[in-house]
Structure 1
Amino acid sequence: MTIEKYLQHRAPVQANDQIIWSFINLVEQYYIQHKSIKFYTDQLNISPRKLNDIIENYFGLSPSKIIHKFLEIEIKKELTTTDKPLKELCYSFGFNKPSTFTKYVKNITGVTPSRYRALNAVLPTTKHKTKILF
């Protein structure tokens, strides 16, 4: 099941669903501040191996990949729907240096953040206003 599909249902039904539900809720709240699995296993009072088994069995992705998927989705959304400076986005997503943010974005998109924004922007940026000549 995909993350998106799971998020649509949102109702725990089976024994492991409570763990899955709680994990996804924690990830939604803390994926920027806590990218390490340890935080989530501590919060859920579960071993890393058990969490990995449950999450990977359900989604086909490791808990770490789920966390990074949330981060990826949000970064792409911010790059395409806002004109916030890249440096501001870098720090707002918990990266210590713009170069690390750039490497991360390039790894998930194949292009730099500025190039991704230019290719996929939904809203025009305010920096390049078009002059109308009469």
Structure 2
Amino acid sequence: MEKQVNADEFVERFMSGSLSHLKYTQSPVKIFRLSEIAPYIKIPIPPIFLGYNLLVHITEGYFEHQIGSDVYVVKAPAILMSNYGNISAIKSVDKSSKGHCVLVKDGAMTSIFREQEILNIFTISPLLNLSLEDSQDLHPLLRLLYKELHTSNPYKELYESLLKSLLSKIIKLSASNKMLDRRQEIAIMFKQLVHKNFKKEKNIGFYADKLAVSTNYLNRCVSSTFKKSSKEVILEVAIMHSQLLLFESTKSIADICYELDFSDPSYFSRIFKKIVGMSPTSFRHKS
């Protein structure tokens, strides 16, 4: 798996200026004010594998954020969410932006939330535009979370409770709080498994066995939920990570192909061009 970028490394690599105000305790949940980050970011930030679940609530300003192959223009008031496992890049930022950025370790998500809640969070569209009233409702929760996590001894039960209230409110606002049907649950659990196993497991049968369903049923679940086949989802995740390797390493395209367990560089290049719109060589030069 590619090296995950943690909060310290992000600050070191992609921010400049006096950053002493970004000191924080080593908790699995972190929160920053956008006013503490936006003026110092060195734009553009290349594709990175952020080692957290990301939540950004923007109350003033805008930024342009890429998640996988999709680019989102986030204008206040809005929420942007990116689940752990995604490749992210920041294209532009209004340096006067205000709001909060929350980072949550994946292990903290599974300890705080029930499986159904995590599945609901996973179904939320990355970009959720808000009314001014709904945005103002979220602000006190974020302000309290910031205050607690920046005390000398954060109270775990309190900040976890605040985070749970915050995400529950976002689930409600996104209309993702409805009960998922069996097909949707299978499709979402499949996608989570792909993010963790894509490097060595591209066979649909592996995922069907893990989920205790037939390959035909898995394909029907994925197709009805994501409007694409199981194979397409697996390949898209693998190609997304190949973009990071092309950018961050000097490995040859053939080496990257074999590292991601593609059997043939020409097949890898064809799939890459189909998904990204250009060859791996062109992507590397453009990056």
Quote the residue 2:208 is aligned against. Answer: 41
Structure 2 distance, partners of 1:6, 1:62, is 24
Structure 1 distance, partners of 2:180, 2:274, is 36
Provide TM-score, normalisation by structure 1: 0.69
| C-alpha contact 1:37 1:48 (8 A) present in aligned 2 | yes
Quote the residue 1:62 is aligned against. Answer: 229
SS in 2 for 1:73: helix
Query: Map of 1:10-89 to 2, 5 A cutoff?
Result: 10-12=118-120, 13-16=179-182, 17-89=184-256
Provide TM-score, normalisation by structure 2: 0.36
Equivalent AA in structure 2 for residue 102 of structure 1: S
Superposed displacement of residue 111, structure 1: 4.0
Change (3 A) 1:80 1:63: same
Change (3 A) 1:14 1:72: same
Superposed displacement of residue 10, structure 1: 4.1
Superposed displacement of residue 85, structure 1: 2.8
State the identity %.
25
Superposed displacement of residue 68, structure 1: 1.1
RMSD over equivalenced CA pairs, Å:
2.9
Deviations 1:77-133 (A, max 9, x none): 2213333332321221112343443343344345432222001x1xxxxxxxxxxxx
Structure 1 distance, partners of 2:281, 2:253, is 8
* Structure with max Cα Rg: 2
| C-alpha contact 1:10 1:21 (8 A) present in aligned 2 | no
- Structure 2 unmatched runs, 5+: 1-67, 71-79, 84-116, 121-178
Equivalent AA in structure 1 for residue 221 of structure 2: I
Equivalent AA in structure 2 for residue 14 of structure 1: L
Deviations 1:38-66 (A, max 9, x none): 11111111122221221111111111111
Quote the residue 1:90 is aligned against. Answer: 257
| Structure holding more helix per residue | 1
Structure 2 distance, partners of 1:71, 1:45, is 23
Alignment partner of 2:279 out of 90, 97, 112: 112
Quote the residue 2:160 is aligned against. Answer: none
Q: How many residues get paired?
A: 118
Change (3 A) 1:19 1:89: same
